[in-house]
Amino acid sequence: MSQLFLGVALLLVLLLVGGLARVLQGPTPHDRLLAAQLFGTTAIAILLLLAESSGAAGVLDVALVLSLLAMVSVVAFISCSRGRGAPE
Amino acid sequence: MTLEMLFDMALVGAVVVAAAYAINAPVLIAGVFVYIVFGVLLSLVWVRLGAPDLAIAEAAIGAGITGAIVLDAARQMGMERRRNPRLRRWPGWLSWAATAAVGVIFAGVFLTVSEGRGDLPQRVQAELPRVGVENEVTAVLLSYRGYDTWFEVGVLLVAALGVLALRAPGESPARRFRWDPPAVADGAADMLVPGGILMAGYLLWQGSRGPGGAFQAGAVLAAIAVLLTLLGRPPIARVSDRARDALLVVGFADFLLVGLVAVTLGGALFEYPPAWAAPMILVIESAVAVSVAVTLSLLFAAGGAAGDASEGGVP
């Protein structure tokens, strides 16, 4: 079973690399933001799979911290694009 | 080839690709987002290396603080800006040569350390009962090399003093982001703040027996403060200057104080008596977590061009 989890995690890492293309291509900053957010969610999924397959302590805490703080960069981005001094 | 090796190779490949694009992205904002992704990947690497303490710190700092800092810097420089032409004055071979040199040094250090570490892990384990904590990382940081960690807390204090020194006397270091945040952001923040405080407390308490500790707890608290600062409610502006300075210093001072208490009890500096070690370490960690949180949130709240009339100063 742990091998299956690891295999799925490997697949998710490969999907991450594919997703980088959307971050780089855009074309709008919002596309890049959403792709980066998807990366955060994928990383949480990978961490959960790793936690199940290895049973190591603390891996779930990393996933918890990532999911708790995922919103910060979204708010930072919208405050950039809609707040004062924004280019648009 | 095992599946573990395949996974690790894919992960390392992803890290290298992300690092290359973070530097070479054609548009500034793309580089910023790839850099944020790079931080997330790095915390996966720490997990695979069996260092969950570092993974938690990297996740909190990367997702919560540096992400906001680089996005804010990108806003100040113009998000859609193309690559800085001044960077092209550096010949390409120079940066490759520098990278290769650093790589050789790291490889050398790695080979020396992995050969010469001898029975060090066993000795760390053997002494753990006398230290009062079950987490080796906390034991090393707070007990075996208390001096180094104390000075590291001092470095953070110096950074905070540097930020404060750039402001005119009486001028608030907290920028006000003046905009109308969407209600969903405000509402979500109201739910995240108690969750973040709970998480920080958990990491602090957990640090004595598992992955976690003062720095991780402080980083999570600081990320929550960054979120509130972005929404125009900087927590650091809610305390008086004097209280803020006290919070900045408390980690450094409390660390030294506990170290001196150990001296009066007959040990050397930071040589906590075994019976009292666990509570003493918790007292140090709690104070250090507060100072780390206030310092990191100050670094973000005070960022940006000094005297920027659109955001700086007291409203």
- Best A62, A64, A88 residue to mutate vs chain B (most B CBs within 10 Å): A62
- Best B190, B230, B231, B297 residue to mutate vs chain A (most A CBs within 10 Å): B230
Let me know if residue A87 belongs to a domain.
no
Cβ contacts of B79 on chain A, cutoff 8 Å: 29, 80-81, 87
- Residues lower than pLDDT 50 in chain B: 305-315
Instruction: Evaluate if residue A14 carries a pLDDT over 80.
Output: yes
Let me know if residue A6 belongs to a domain.
yes
Let me know if residue B87 belongs to a domain.
no
Number of domains chain A contains: 1
- Asked whether the beta carbons of residue A20 and residue B21 sit closer than 8 angstroms, the reply is yes
Which residue shows structure tokens 């973040």?
Answer: B196
Let me know if residue B77 belongs to a domain.
no
Hey, is the C-beta of A12 within 8 angstroms of any chain B C-beta? no
In sequence order, the β-bridge partners of residue B27 are: B82
Let me know if residue B253 belongs to a domain.
yes
pLDDT at residue B315, rounded to an integer:
32
Let me know if residue B24 belongs to a domain.
no
- Asked whether the beta carbons of residue B30 and residue A32 sit closer than 8 angstroms, the reply is yes
pLDDT tens digits for range A23-71 = 888 788 888 888 888 888 999 999 999 888 887 778 899 999 999 988 8
pLDDT at residue B313, rounded to an integer:
35
Residues spanned by the domain of A27: 2-82
Q: Choose the closest CB to A24 out of B30, B230, B311.
A: B30
| AA identity, residue B172 | S
pLDDT tier at A3, thresholds 50, 70, 90? confident
- Best B2, B21, B34, B37 residue to mutate vs chain A (most A CBs within 10 Å): B37
Number of domains chain B contains: 1
Let me know if residue A88 belongs to a domain.
no
